[in-house]
Structure 1
Amino acid sequence: MKTTRKLAWAIIPLAVSVNLYADQQILDDLVVDGSACIGQDCVNGESFGFDTLRLKENNLRIKFQDTSNSSSFPTNDWQLTANDATNGGANKFSLDDIDGGKTPFTIMAGAKNNALFVASNGKIGLGTSLPVVEMHVVDGDSPTMRLEQDGSSGFTPQTWDVAGNETNFFIRDVTNGSKLPFKIRPNAPTNSLYIDTDGDIGLGTASPDAQLHVIDSTSTNLSTSSVLVENTNAARNSVLLELAHAGNSYLKMSNTEASPTVAFWLLGSRQDGTFSLTNNVGGQVFIVDSTGNITTKGTVTANNVLLTSDVNKKENFQTINGTEILGAISKLAISKWNYKSQSASEQHIGPMAQDFYKLFGLGGNDDKHISAIDSAGISLAAIQALYDLNMKKDQQIEELSNRISDLEMKTK
């Protein structure tokens, strides 16, 4: 075991020559019972105050020079540096990687209190000595974290800021005009935006059941919307919502009541080129084909219904024979009935589409439908034929009346 030795210097004889500038090598432990000053500007009678070790000169460095000579041992040299050695250099304290020629850690003079604080529990405070989470950033105005890709690896430079203040939490695209593509306002509801483990996104819910699931508990009437898609561009024509699919594409509207009359409606485009309205009760109840022909499974109640009848939109005109139509109508069976999808109390009067098609060769898209415009046209043609027939009858009656009057005059 090594022991501490205190050297008591005797009076050196004047005849002994002493080199005061020679290096001193101590081949044992060195214990200094007091303070030590190292540097060219240390003076006799140095006032240390509470300093135990003082470095004092115009270039202050502590170098850790590893002399390991085996390839299996680390040999990197490090240095603690106080201030740059050049005129106009930085007032700073740094840790230098001597062998690597890098300075991974620097503190600039004037840094505020607790600029970097590591608590006993490992939490890091930036601007605070009381970090309450793993990384706690404190500042008086918009504490910010910057992510800067500087181009040193060959990629396009790009800088982002992540920050927050009393107005909002935001992400700022610094490179492109400091735009703010993402914001969260203070007091936003819980789960305003939620991304589940399967990638489903919830707006207002932490249990999204679809790729995008919106829950709204604020809309109470028809003047407010749960989802609003608005185009503020001055262009008059714009597609605000598109549903795209290789097959049938539907918009589903469900009634979540306990026992709804209709649980859901499907509004969609079908592979056969038709546009349809379908529900879980009556199936496909309304169809519009590619040319605008409309087929409905139920009845149509007219209320200012306008049918396109512009002569400029028609062609292949043919003259009809009203008398023949009137004769055909006399053969048309008219009965009273109800649709199978309706109750027996919902009665209607009319012909069967098959009979109508057989007699007139007209009827929607096939022999199972009757076009409203065709039935109206047949009725008008029949009315004209009846009018002509009545006019002829009236003329015959008038002629007979005149002949009777002439005979009566002759017999007198």
Structure 2
Amino acid sequence: MILALSASLPTALVAASVSVSQKPELTPDALLWQLDAEHGGASLRVVRPDGRIEVHSVGVDEDEIAFGIGDEALPDGAYLWEISLAPRLTDEQRSQLERAREEDRELPTMADIRGARVQGSFRVVEGSVYGVLEDGVAPAGEIERTSGTPTPQAAPLTGDLTVRNSLCVGFDCADSESYGADTIRLREDRLRIAFLDDSTLAGFPAGDWQIRINEGTGGGANLFAIDWLGTGSNGNGDDAPASTPFRIDGNAPSNSLFIANDGDVGLGTPTPALELHVRDGDSPALRLEQDTSSGFAAQSWDIAGNETSFFVRDVTNGSTLPFRVRPGADSNALVVSDDSFVGIGVLSPQARLHVVGDARIDGALYQLSSRAAKTGFERPDASTLLDGIEQLWLGFWQYKEGDRGARHFGPTAEDFHAAFGLGGDARHISPTDMAGIALGATQALREEIERRDNTIADLERRLQRIEAALDVQPTH
């Protein structure tokens, strides 16, 4: 049976009608679903009774997708399946979407893009595969219920009540309802089921609840709701309950909320892979919204991800993206350890900021160097600095890893530490120490130059006195 379906897609991809087989064809080797619509690729997810998920994919314009059953005996139990059709994009449409992503702007609307999701289930009993469960249709082998004629009850009934077939309650129930597969049917224009707890003993709960179907006013919403009525309501909550902790609006997409048999929760997916699994065709996200009800300023954040990045969006302040992680980033790209050290490219950072690989600063680097932050001042012997530099090995070299073969010039940490005893270990050099040694050596050289200049000046004066005594004219 081929069903015309309309799928709910993101605003950028407004779905057109597509056709996908809702009931698979059973062959000796596989279950086959016909894909008789243009699509950009399709995937089939099958959840086995033990919770394992199988994923099968086909490419563009493939006309069927299959779940193999011939290679192994399928375990007994219920199987849930879902087929997702990717939208078919032209090169221009794909280009528009990519440009919108790069520019962080709203995606364009493309009404001719196709896409859909359909789902169903089948059951395996003693190795045999039974048909797909469809809305309003009993599974294979189940006996159809027969319609019964309700007998009005004019007086209260005391004692137990057994209804062999089906039951209809409400002003609009017909004398002879055609129940189909329904066991209990409520039929009227204000559908409510009230739960009134008349407990009076101290300490016992006595709150009232109701299940409410649709709002009872003109222009009201289609909904399924669970209402808290309070204590002693006598069922008078109706459309003005004390609170409505649970509500489903009419025409909500399939799998808006799905709880798997292992407790995993799916939002937008019937195959949750983790405790909470959120799925959407365009940037699945969670919004954290603080309103002003507690006296704080309003602020909203989004945590989202798509094919370009995982990101945090500051919705309140211009929807900027202060934090991004690109797909394909290496493990340990950013690590915060239990002692609050931050590692970039390292799992166990050994300093407040520990970077493995190159670090680039497009701006100035400032280090704390205030006299107020220092102690243990000591003036070095100038000759010691010059002697250390004279013995220091200096040369060209490059890192084995990390900076793409760029060449550098300077000492090794081992030689620098041996010459001056500075720094925390013999494997690293502080830029502050390097600059300090360079400045100290410059001062020492300046002192040496001044000493030699004074010596030269003294020798010139002595030479002038000798020449004057000999009455010899200077040659220059």
Q: TM-score range by the shorter chain?
A: 0.5 to 0.7
In structure 2, the CA distance between the partners of 1:383 and 1:195, relative to structure 1 (3 Å rule), is same
Amino acid at match of 2:436: S
- Give the structure 1 partner of residue 168 of structure 2: 37
C-alpha offsets along residues 41-97 of structure 1, whole Å, 9 cap, x if unaligned?
111222111111111111111111111111221111111111111122111111101
**Match for 2:332 among 187, 191, 194?**
191
Contact map agreement 2:290 2:300 (CA 8 A) in 1: yes
In structure 2, the CA distance between the partners of 1:396 and 1:207, relative to structure 1 (3 Å rule), is closer
Q: Hey, what's the Cα distance between the residues in 1 that align with 2:343 and 2:207?
A: 52
**C-alpha root-mean-square deviation of aligned residues, in Å?**
3.2
Q: Tell me, yes or no, if structure 1 residue 243 matches structure 2 residue 392.
A: no
Question: Structure 1 stretch 190-199 or stretch 378-387: which is displaced more?
Answer: 378-387
Amino acid at match of 2:366: L
Consecutive unaligned residues of structure 2, counting only runs of 5 or more, are 1-150, 231-240, 378-409, 420-425
Q: How does 1:222-233 map to 2 (within 5 A)?
A: 226-231=358-363
In structure 2, the CA distance between the partners of 1:249 and 1:395, relative to structure 1 (3 Å rule), is closer
Q: Offset at 1:248? A: 5.1
- Give the structure 1 partner of residue 343 of structure 2: 202
**Match for 1:69 among 200, 209, 212?**
200
Q: Offset at 1:378? A: 3.3
- Give the structure 2 partner of residue 214 of structure 1: 355
**More strand by proportion, 1 or 2?**
2
Q: How does 1:11-410 map to 2 (within 5 A)?
A: 23-99=154-230, 101-216=242-357, 226-231=358-363, 240-244=365-369, 246-247=373-374, 255=412, 263=426, 265=429, 268=432, 276-277=436-437, 287=440, 294-295=443-444, 364=447, 371-383=448-460, 385-387=462-464, 389-390=466-467, 393-395=470-472
The answer to which structure, 1 or 2, has the higher relative contact order (CA under 8 A, 6+ apart) is 2
Q: Offset at 1:254? A: 9.3
Q: Offset at 1:32? A: 1.1
Q: Hey, what's the Cα distance between the residues in 1 that align with 2:176 and 2:152?
A: 19
Secondary structure at 1:390 match in 2: helix
Q: Hey, what's the Cα distance between the residues in 1 that align with 2:172 and 2:415?
A: 91
C-alpha offsets along residues 318-355 of structure 1, whole Å, 9 cap, x if unaligned?
xxxxxxxxxxxxxxxxxxxxxxxxxxxxxxxxxxxxxx
Amino acid at match of 2:455: I
Amino acid at match of 2:352: Q
Q: Hey, what's the Cα distance between the residues in 1 that align with 2:224 and 2:296?
A: 32
Paired residues in the alignment total 272
Q: Hey, what's the Cα distance between the residues in 2 that align with 1:255 and 1:169?
A: 40
Contact map agreement 1:127 1:137 (CA 8 A) in 2: yes
Q: Offset at 1:126? A: 0.8
Q: Offset at 1:375? A: 2.0
In structure 2, the CA distance between the partners of 1:139 and 1:265, relative to structure 1 (3 Å rule), is closer
Contact map agreement 2:264 2:276 (CA 8 A) in 1: yes
Q: TM-score normalized by structure 2?
A: 0.52
Amino acid at match of 1:79: Q
Q: Hey, what's the Cα distance between the residues in 2 that align with 1:42 and 1:165?
A: 50
Contact map agreement 1:254 1:265 (CA 8 A) in 2: no
Contact map agreement 1:230 1:240 (CA 8 A) in 2: no
Q: Hey, what's the Cα distance between the residues in 2 that align with 1:74 and 1:142?
A: 44
Consecutive unaligned residues of structure 1, counting only runs of 5 or more, are 1-19, 217-225, 232-238, 270-274, 278-284, 301-306, 308-363, 365-370, 398-412
